[in-house]
Amino acid sequence: MADRMRTRLTGGAALVAAVVLWSSFALTVRGIGSSSLTSIDVAFLRFATPVVILAPWLPRTVRALRGERIGVLLLLGVGGLPHFLLSALGGRLTSAALIGLLVPGTVPLFVTVILYLRWRERISSRRLIALAAITTGIAATAIQTTSTSTTAGVGILLTAGCAWAVYTIGLRQTGLGPAGVVLTVCTPAAIAAALLAASAAMPSHLMTGTAGISDVLLFTGLQGIGTGLLSTVCYAYAVRALGSTLAATAGAISPVLAALLAVPLFGEPITSGVSAALALIVTGVTVFNTAPRRRDRACLRLPRRVRRSQGVLLDTQRSPRGSISGNAPTRIADDLTGEGEGQIGRSGAVDGDVLGLLLGGEAEVGRDARPGERLARGRGGRRGGQQGRGRCERGDGGAGVQGGSPGVPVLCRPVGEERAGRGA
């Protein structure tokens, strides 16, 4: 009992930290104009810092990229430098409250529209109501703008939200782990930002030596370490300790916190229009994240294919229980969804080894799983299962996976084995 209470307390603290760090993204983007740094300077610090910290994982990530599709990598790349520069430009023309509100708040709307247009994924009535609230909040934001530049800024922030939605869909399709995703997004973004700064294509005070050390340290800490790494770790732990629904719902508080902190930091008042937009969009996001998921054709089917992930071939067969359903919130570790709670429950593949087993609600890939020798997924995470020599099929349990749902055949084998089962 005491351990459970301690876990929930630490999970709550981690969730609070994640919400604060998410809010800091909007505040620091808004604060670029009043610092000694330019947008491309902050972009370089934002993306280069995680690359340096996660450098030991680079060789593994490079190997994993060989089995990833080019289209998925392009989707992930949109969430890097393009998304950041759009957010920075829109933030310069609007306010911190609108950055924190429009960029993450519109992602469910854009994701749903894209999934419907591309895969005809059906939408529940409750989610339609949530999306209507988000759309009304966007309209309220547009109506209360008083200048052409602010209107343009709102449009740019909506484009940034759409870019993050594209990135989110890329997350749903990738086989990379969290560390691999961060490196895949940040490495090319850091290189591109350095080239833009060095070639004078965009102004850079880092290159001219006029950037203040205090600003460099501040943005490195808040953007590079805080938003880039710690927010992901804190949110993943909160999901594991508190459950995905509570964590996703509490995450909707970040726009409110950003708007409140912008009052003393930037002197930006919370107008009636901003208040109405906050109420509508936050309510819409909360209802969207807590809406039950359909268990039939409403899910985005996982294509029947053999995927190479960390040196393992995973043959995941298409079935109603083997699908990816629709929540798609905006943070790493809860965009790849199953059923039940709808998210990679209990922090999913926390060690980033395999994200190919996305089947079932509260499923977790065990940290001890070894390529080519994995235990079968089982009912309720009971120990047991059948361990073969280089291959496994569903058994009655599974030490490496918890909370699996029955009825989904999963076959894993070493890379060298014949790719059987593609047509099964």
Arithmetic mean of pLDDT over the chain: 74
| pLDDT over 70 at 297, yes or no | no
Reading the block at residue 53, the tokens are: 């910290």
Output the pLDDT for position 81. Answer: 97
The closest of 42, 149, 41, 46 to 95, measured between CA atoms, is 149
What is the band of 329 on the pLDDT scale with cuts at 50, 70, 90? Answer: very low
117-121, 247-251, 289-293, 347-351: which has the minimum mean pLDDT?
Answer: 347-351
Digit-coded pLDDT (tens) for 108-140 = 999 999 999 988 888 899 999 999 999 999 998
What is the band of 293 on the pLDDT scale with cuts at 50, 70, 90? Answer: low
What mean pLDDT comes out for the span 336-346? 30
User: Percent of the chain, pLDDT > 90?
Assistant: 54
Cα–Cα distance between 252 and 25 in angstroms, integer? 14
User: b/e per residue, 16-47, with b = 16+ CB within 10 A?
Assistant: ebbbbbbbbbbbbbbbbeebebbbbbbbbbbb
What is the band of 419 on the pLDDT scale with cuts at 50, 70, 90? Answer: very low
What is the band of 200 on the pLDDT scale with cuts at 50, 70, 90? Answer: very high
